């Protein structure tokens, strides 16, 4: 079979490392629930041109091979992969079948534990999710605790859907937010209407974003609009937390931000650890758009003022205090 392979870039590797680390914590922690869902809305083909696995395979392997086996064996684990492109979808279906399958129409796969269910959908994320959300609204039911990984190539998608997902209990969103493109495309007439539709803003808001000369500050404005949309469907008394991790290209230009939304302090802590581990490796940085002083947030630690120091001390203390360490452990 002719496999569709996505192109691997260093920032994609970083994104996958963050996803892997987060899932490593999420699966065992969430296994106390009778049923959980990993939703990969823009699933891709499952393979890259350096043969590394895509996000659906990362998630399945993480759950299957997790060292906390007895924990993971509790509760149902549902995996739902949506991919719009036909050939990309066929590659994904083929790879899943090869490694874990065959899988039947109930989602049970021959080479996966019986508490795992895998569903693949060749379709459009917005359409599929709208159907699910409308269905649960009509029936007055909730969706199960979900981690939604939303990883589109572009910026134009129905953000209201993400906000609706977040309105359900124990649901989280990890979102590739194309803020770098937005901050550049906002000046191009060809993209204007799509940006206006995506963020549901008027031309006055666009004009004020355009007047900001600093590219990163323009991105922050889009970040603020995004957070406002994400909060829209949340009950007023519910707190939303978020962490943002900025990916930079080889020319030090912002590409996109991987933004995590949760209502759980525990989820926040696990994601902080995941981002912190990767962020220490050079060309990536945390951004602090819309910094909310009431939430424990990791700040941009590439800046001169180094506001991250206090957080770093706290982090090291929590990880290292009251244990013996050898010099070799630090090498």
Tell me whether residue 12 or residue 244 sits nearer to ligand SAM (CB atom): 12
Which residues are registered as beta bridge partners of 103?
109
**Residues contributing to the site for ligand SAM (CB under 6 A):** 6, 42-44, 54-55, 82-85, 88, 124-126, 151-153
Minimum distance of ligand SAM from residue 86's CB (angstroms): 9
* Residue among 312, 322, 234, 254 nearest 280 (CA): 312
Answer whether 15's CB lies under 8 Å from 176's CB. Answer: yes
Minimum distance of ligand SAM from residue 233's CB (angstroms): 21
Answer whether 16's CB lies under 8 Å from 9's CB. Answer: no
Tell me whether residue 84 or residue 117 sits nearer to ligand SAM (CB atom): 84
Tell me whether residue 17 or residue 302 sits nearer to ligand SAM (CB atom): 17
E strand intervals along 53-145: 76-83, 116-122
Tell me whether residue 81 or residue 289 sits nearer to ligand SAM (CB atom): 81
d(CA 331, CA 202): 54
E strand or H helix that includes residue 223? helix 215-231
Tell me whether residue 178 or residue 299 sits nearer to ligand SAM (CB atom): 178
Minimum distance of ligand SAM from residue 146's CB (angstroms): 16
Half-sphere exposure of 86 (CA within 13 A, CB side): 0
Which residues are registered as beta bridge partners of 254?
248
Neighbouring residues of 102: CB distance < 8 A, sequence distance ≥ 6: 109, 110
Answer whether 68's CB lies under 8 Å from 107's CB. Answer: no
d(CA 93, CA 87): 10
Minimum distance of ligand SAM from residue 64's CB (angstroms): 17
d(CA 236, CA 32): 27
Tell me whether residue 152 or residue 307 sits nearer to ligand SAM (CB atom): 152
Tell me whether residue 24 or residue 44 sits nearer to ligand SAM (CB atom): 44
């Amino acid at each position: 079979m002719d496999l569709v392979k996505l192109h691997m870039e260093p920032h994609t590797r970083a994104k996958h490392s963050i996803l892997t680390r987060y899932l490593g914590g999420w699966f065992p922690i969430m296994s106390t629930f009778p049923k959980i869902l990993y939703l990969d809305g823009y699933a891709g083909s499952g393979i890259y041109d350096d043969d590394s696995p895509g996000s659906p395979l990362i998630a399945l392997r993480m759950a299957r091979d997790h060292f906390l086996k007895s924990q993971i064996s509790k509760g149902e684990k549902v995996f739902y992969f949506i991919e719009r492109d036909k050939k990309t979808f066929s590659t994904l279906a083929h790879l899943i079948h090869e490694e874990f399958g065959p899988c039947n129409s109930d989602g049970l796969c021959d080479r996966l534990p019986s508490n795992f269910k895998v569903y693949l959908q060749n379709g459009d994320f917005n359409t599929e999710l709208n159907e699910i959300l409308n269905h649960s609204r009509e029936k007055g039911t909730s969706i199960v605790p979900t981690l939604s990984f939303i990883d589109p190539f572009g910026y134009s998608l129905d953000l209201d859907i993400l906000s609706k997902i977040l309105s359900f209990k124990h649901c989280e969103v990890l979102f590739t937010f194309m803020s770098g493109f937005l901050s550049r495309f906002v000046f191009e007439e060809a993209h204007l209407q799509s940006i206006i539709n995506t963020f549901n803003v008027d031309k006055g808001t666009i004009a004020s974003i355009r007047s900001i000369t600093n590219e990163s500050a323009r991105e922050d404005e889009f970040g603020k609009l995004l957070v406002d949309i994400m909060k829209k469907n949340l009950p007023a008394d519910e707190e939303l937390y978020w962490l943002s991790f900025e990916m930079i290209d080889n020319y030090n230009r912002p590409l996109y931000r991987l933004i995590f939304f949760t209502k759980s302090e525990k989820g926040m802590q696990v994601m902080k650890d995941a981002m912190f581990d990767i962020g220490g490796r050079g060309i990536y940085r945390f951004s602090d758009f819309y910094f909310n002083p009431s939430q424990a947030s990791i700040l941009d630690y590439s800046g001169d003022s180094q506001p991250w120091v206090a957080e770093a001390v706290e982090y090291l203390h929590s990880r290292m205090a009251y244990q013996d360490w050898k010099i070799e452990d630090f090498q």
